[in-house]
Structure 1
């Protein structure tokens, strides 16, 4: 493989890491050529970081995987950028920086879309938040799917470890409160109208 065209070898490396970053391990322990391929920015930008989504604590400074995560961040891997945004918001108390990072990402990520709407409403950007939330709900296959994504985002925040400093109580803004809680909706029993409201309340408590 070391004698084939570099671009072809790079494409092969991208395919190797498409399912999981752990599939690149074999390349790291062979030769300098394979190692350079595994650490190439193109590969790191496309490599699957699903394991980090499943266990978001892996991005924390104490994690043995943090150096690799940093390399993926430098390569602008979308998953790495998304998780860094969550960490900035919930672990560092820097929701503004987290939101700014999310806004640079492709809108195709539903998790990032929901996180964007969540941070916007907590930072007082109500109308922007409602616009993104509507797009998120429309792009989701069903309300149940949207609710599951929102729940996953919160699980990821909890895994990262929020500071619980309640730093956005003064900026959180909901201009038009949903009326459905008066007819049965609750924090654990949500609908499309109150999904963002309840999760933003939980964010205030959590972060």
Structure 2
């Protein structure tokens, strides 16, 4: 690959990376020049890491792909911020760092807004969490869309393999006065409405983690 001018090589790598991080494997395997091109900040910042969202266990410690994720995180890749923030929140429990990572990805990763909302509630930051959920609900407008996002986040949490050790038992806060009345006569964890979606999903996260 040495015969390819560096500028052209970088542009090729960046374009391929936008199609998915696995497209870069051949450049890494080709030798130092290809590897260096892949590890350029601009490439790592823009590379498509959507597979990490839907197969979240790729981010776990011991994963073959985790070192690459961390490089992307250090380069400012927003998907990497979300995935690592979610992993930390699931595995280690309440922390400002994990929430900040998810918060930083909200504008670009729709799942980040939901995850930030429910984990904030679980971490004792009720007002912050509800504000994020209200913004998401108002942005999407359709209950089915919000539920689909919520169920996807739950699947991501499961794939990360939560410890189920009660990490959020001491911090979970959903004020009694704000618990929606519908949970007593109409809704449940598998059949939610706009009023109770934050309540049920935050309880599920508390139970899982």
TM-score norm. by structure 1 comes to 0.91
SS of equivalent to 2:162: coil
Say whether the 8 Å CA contact 1:117–1:129 is kept in structure 2: yes
* Separation of aligned partners in 2, 1:133 and 1:113: 7
- Aligned counterpart, 2:179: 177
Deviation at 1:147, TM superposition (A): 0.8
Q: Is residue 203 from structure 1 mapped to residue 197 from structure 2 by the alignment?
A: no
- Aligned counterpart, 2:120: 120
What is the correspondence of 1:157-172 to structure 2 with a 5 Å cutoff? 157-172=157-172
Say whether the 8 Å CA contact 1:95–1:119 is kept in structure 2: no
- Aligned counterpart, 2:136: 136
- Distance change >3 Å, CA 5–CA 69, structure 1 → 2: closer
- Aligned counterpart, 1:65: 65
Say whether the 8 Å CA contact 1:52–1:58 is kept in structure 2: yes
Deviation >3 Å, runs of 4+: 1-5
Gaps of 5+ in 1: none
Aligned pair partner of 2:194 in 184, 192, 195: 192
* Separation of aligned partners in 1, 2:109 and 2:66: 23
What value does the CA root-mean-square deviation take over the aligned residues?
Answer: 1.9
Deviation at 1:125, TM superposition (A): 1.8
* Separation of aligned partners in 1, 2:95 and 2:162: 12
- Aligned counterpart, 2:110: 110
* Separation of aligned partners in 2, 1:108 and 1:77: 10
Deviation at 1:133, TM superposition (A): 0.5
Aligned pair count reads 206
Deviation at 1:141, TM superposition (A): 5.7
TM-score norm. by structure 2 comes to 0.90
Gaps of 5+ in 2: none
- Aligned counterpart, 1:24: 24
- Aligned counterpart, 2:77: 77
Deviation at 1:106, TM superposition (A): 4.6
Say whether the 8 Å CA contact 2:180–2:195 is kept in structure 1: yes
